[in-house]
Structure 1
Amino acid sequence: MNERHFQFNGLEWSGWTILSVCAVVAALVSIVMLFRYERRLVSSSIGNILITLRIAALILILLTFLEPVLTWSFNVNKTGRLIVAVDVSDSMNTQDRHASDLEKLRLARALKMIGNDQVNSRLDRWEAAYAADQEPPWVDGEETANPEKREELAASRKKNLAAIFADIDQLSRKEIAQKLLLNPANPILEKLQERGQVDVVLFAGDAVTTEKTTLEKSLNEVPDQVHMELSNLSQALKNTGGSNETSEAPISGYILLTDGRDNSQLNPVTMAKQLGQMKVPIYPVMVGTDHQPKDISIADLDYPQTAFKDDRPLLQARIGTNGYDGQEISVTLKQGDQELAVKSFTSSGVSKLLEFELDSGKLGRQEFTLETEVLPGETRDDNNNKNFAINIVDDKSHVLLVEETARWEYRFLHHALERDKRIALEQVLFEQPYMGLLPQPFFPNQLKINVPVAKPNDEPGTQAHPFADQDLIIIGDVSPAHLEEENWKYIQTFVGDQGGTLVLLAGKKFMPLGHHSPTLNELLPLKSPKVINWNQTNFKVPPGERGMRLRLTPEGEAEPLMQFDANAEINRDIWQELPGHLWYLQGELKPGATVLAYGVSPFNAPPNEKTDGVIIHRQYGSGQVIWVGIDSTWRWRFRVGDRYHHRFWGQLARWAAKNKAAAGNEFVKFSLSKTDIDAGEITTASARWTQEYRDQFPDVKSTVSIFKASEPDKVLASLELLNQKNQPLLQEANLPALPEGEYQLKLQTTPPIAGAKEITTPLFVHTIKTIELGNLTSNPQLLTEMAESSGGQLLTPQTINELMELLPSLKQETTKQDEISVWDHWFFLILIMGILTVEWALRKLNGLP
């Protein structure tokens, strides 16, 4: 296709067009009048030439006003490229000896270890028999009628197939992927290369491009940057950004040979959807089996990153016990070579949750090992131990609890905080029974305001801030008579300037509807609160089914204070099963506020996270405010006692102490989602700004520099923190996978914060062997979702030949358009100037002015 045409850009402006035409008409009238005068002075031939030159110049000038452009379209052919990505993570070292006979037979046929045109029909019958859980018909009816020969032939074929199955058992998933691509009997990679350019990528925690010759070697030796101990499917797709627009060979499709395990905490389906929008399909080839292997593994550990001295921190370990039903399993907790505890249980085929109390008597970073015995027949024995560390600090969380009366919420909250040995609790209860028998009420009934602090050398005293020593202030249903505007000003300073945490508990009498404090309104994360009451509408149902249930938002699931279990799905289920609430306050979110948990109506009305927020977080200055829109967290004790109620408030108290001690200043808080991680594990660096600073510097940029603690002058890596779409005050980035060691992370900002001190935080990385091995089954569900989201299809080794039909054509024809602006081209200008020059010369030669 090669089409050419003119278009006049000036015609798009009707006013300019009319003005240009009017100017040309006026000029034309003037030229005609001038021609009538000049005919009396020169010959008619000279006059005709002059008027012709003038009209030609006038037409060219008019064309200049109309901006003529010559455009043409033409087709361009490009040959696309394919990305063949091979998973080399630790889980791909698994030998699937536990796979079914049907899977092994299909794999043997896919690898061309058995089968040809003469026997394929017989193998089809064997597959059908295995699928029906029956003994295959080893000998066909027409082969021989002799019983002895039939028995001998059947035994021979059975033995031969068993030998092939034994060879299959010795192949790891990596080796299977290699054979699928390079098998001389069916060279898939060569066939793909005949279609066009093919890039081979090895990926695990990261991805590298490699050559075909690398696939012909052992894939157990790959570059360190791949991080085999981690599995991140998104890394296999990371080179897509902008490829279709900037590369001479745009990406036409992805072929992933993987077991589908992904423990990166990222969602590869999101990237698959983006590829689908770009018409780049993904074709995962699932290697391995989704049958549970016979294996004992330490699947997951839940423990606090930081604990206080003598705090009795708890380790919760989930032990996978597939294939050992009824067998005794022993689990040992060690510190160095010393055994701290041993626990045993009888396997029932499902994972077992064990709890260990950790020794927190020693300060500093304490390393532990949890291990299980290796049992005969395990698929793998390198996932039976796991190292972890906990940082023990000598400190307490200082909490001030302020209430009007001893309502139910106060009573249970008071007991929860008072029993916690790592919480230094102060209380103020304004209204309490007092008969005058004691010199003063049992609880303090006044806030300590304007406490004088003496200066040395007998200098006049100054006024200390009344809440300087507190980490957390919890204010319940307090009346405005006891919390006046002056008190709220002190609380505002505690949050904004001192980095404290304020929790506001909703109340039926006063909080916040009974207050008219401008400072309280500024601190609240929501506005226009209103009462939602379900007390009468569903009061007759059992207590466990009454009222509004809470659901976590993605932001809530990521916050440590909202986690009742390390497993995200289990934690989500716990929150959904907590008893409901009959009353809460609903309001509109303020800018910068984040909903951690929202309410779900008992009448199945569609929830709205923006307006149904119950637990809301908002950064305020260097501190933070938590709004709890219910007055009945004590209901979480129904039939489970202190388990969740005490854990929530205990985690909140520790979280507040950590926030006050976090790196940062009055404008920004800098922290890590985890300060103690496994090698290859991903942690997130966050900078949370105040609303006032972002209003003043909306384009502020944050950069994190990573140093080894032993080499503080050598920058290992530097990355920019990115703005978060749904949280405008938050900038985040995932840190690159780091090897074992101790690191320091420094936050740098553009523009720099005037007069601010250096903002740093530590990071500990230790060796881990089992982050990838907690679950050895393949994950067809995830791979199917990725394929369908991108417009591709999930394949298996036996269907890999369908690739040639499914892949889109690598030859892409695109239409391009080019243009030349005629009106401002140099030739156009020369033509006009030439005509005017000739006209001027003729006039002068013939004696005209």
Structure 2
Amino acid sequence: MIRIIEWLLQLKPGELGGADTWSVRFTAQYNNWIIFGLFIVFVALVALTIISYLREGDLSRRVKLGIASIRLVVIIIIFILLLQPGLVLRYKKNLYSSVVVLLDDSLSMSLKDRYADPAIRRSLAEKLQVAPERLESLSRAEIVRAILGSKDGVLPKLSQDHPLIMLRFSTANPGQEDYTHMLAVVNHPASNGSEVLPEAITEISTALDKIRGVGFQTNLSAASRDAARKIQGRGAIAAIVLISDGQDTTKGKSLTRLQAARDCLNRLGVPIFALCVGDPIPPQNIRVLRLEAPVEVRKGSDIKLRVFVSNRNCAGKTAILHILRRPLGGGKWEDVCSPRQVMLAGKPGSSISYSQEVEVKVEADKVGDFEYMARISPLKKEFSIKDNAATVRIRISEEKIKVLLISGDAGWEFRYLRNLLLRNPDKYAVSVWQQNAEAAYIQEASSKEMRLKRLPRTAKELFKYDVVILYDPAYTKHSFDGHFVELLEKWVSEHGGGLCYIASNKYTDTILTGQGPFKPLAAMLPVVLGKEPINIAERIIQAKPVAWQVMPTPEGLEHPILRLGRDARESARIWSIFPGIYWSHPVLALKPLATPLLVSGDPTNRTAGPDAQPAPIAAVQFYGKGRSLYMGTDETWRWRYVQDGTYHRRFWHNVMDYLAAGSLEKKRLIITTGGEHFIVGQKV
């Protein structure tokens, strides 16, 4: 029968049999009124035919009905043709809409979470069928593979009803390759509710194994747009499933870009769903970014350690900082100072990262090459303890500080300072030049090699020193003159030398307040000096001179030169018991980049101008690669009467260590990046 119909209708052999079902239908597209009119006409023709044949002639009733029937059949055929009969073949074919799976392949997918919430930890462990303590050993990428790629996982279940287009996003080569990359197209839909096909599970697992966590950026908007571009022409898309462990890390208005990408997909009729990976509780973490210290220090001096610390979700908490040391090359770590409590910077409760600098000073008590470590004790629920420490190499040498002391006369300040330096031959190599001495006088020195017959006249002769102390020097032709000052300026600015100028009432006015060859010397000092208002004779006949206390500034108490006690509070107490001074040189102003250490307690001794401040007695500043110290009084020898001279000696040892540090730091190169994290393409 089917073959006869195919022959009659001129169908290809088997075309009718290949259909799932077939039927005959009227295909005429008439409106209801026309169909109703045809029906009325049809009924009228049928009735008219039957009635007219029954009334005509003498034929028998049977014959009349037979002829009427023939005509009725013709009428019916005509009306059937008017209704356009057709053979309708129905074929069934399942068309599936695809699901796009976007997988984050950035570096953070290789991180391992601690899952601080016990309920989440227990639930995830049950899902993975592992012990809860093993979760910390699984990276985010491994958890994604285990949950999504298993037989009962989300992706195999999706593959039953939808082909999966699997893409990964992020890149290790920005600008040189696409941001998204095709992983696989899994097209094995299950029929009639059957189980997931093994081929689908294998292809999904193979694609997930390619997630290595190597990209340097998470750009969710770029991933969404790139995915929309790649799926064009692939048929209907049911949805995009985005699997990521974090927020967009690109700079600028990333949220605005992400909303625009979402709106674009919505216009295409493609919804996007996000599946988040990792611990939902922001992790607590403290990181020691780096430890900075001098490359080399001298034995007995302080080592200034700068510890750079960042914290996330720990702001306001107290951390314990340890400073340890061991010989370079290995050995046991040992504490070099007491543990220090550090209040972590930032706003408590905030999950963003905060950075801070912690300064620690330790004594260089042993000679050798050492490795120093700054380590912060881990918090209870810290994300990672592998980044809680940083190290630096430091050489502690017995190299002596080479000091050149030049004095215009043999006053008390000169004598006590000279004796202090010469009585410490293990720490200082000293050359003394007393300008008012007789020509035949043998200048003092700590050794024969350091003894001078004249002041240095070449760079080679001067640049061997670490510190130069000028105590109220006088101009001397072919000795302390413009040529020497030029060498001195080059030694400080380019060679990292340390200069100390001690003012007195004989030559300082002449040397430093004029416009002659000593102008470069005045430029190196941290203050602008004024003229002495009274001469020596007037000072002598004054009835009762008053001693005024010198007062440390807040900056001074934090400076290594004034550190006479264990901390700033103890140092302030010590400075308060020092005897006062009777004279200091007038100061017009403190230079912009200078730091005042000590100021006068005399209410009438102030700087010039409407913003007059207490006149500086001691001030420091950096000058080029070097540093300079101005001492506005020559009466520090009076401090010898406190604690049997202990604090007087400590003060001048601090001065020598600070000024000499510049010559060691010229060997030091520090490269910093100005931050902890950077975005791909950002200039560092």
TM-score band, normalised by shorter chain: 0.3 to 0.5
TM-score (norm 2): 0.40
TM-score (norm 1): 0.33
Q: Which has the higher contact order (CA 8 A, sep 6+)?
A: 1
Give the structure with the higher percent strand: 1
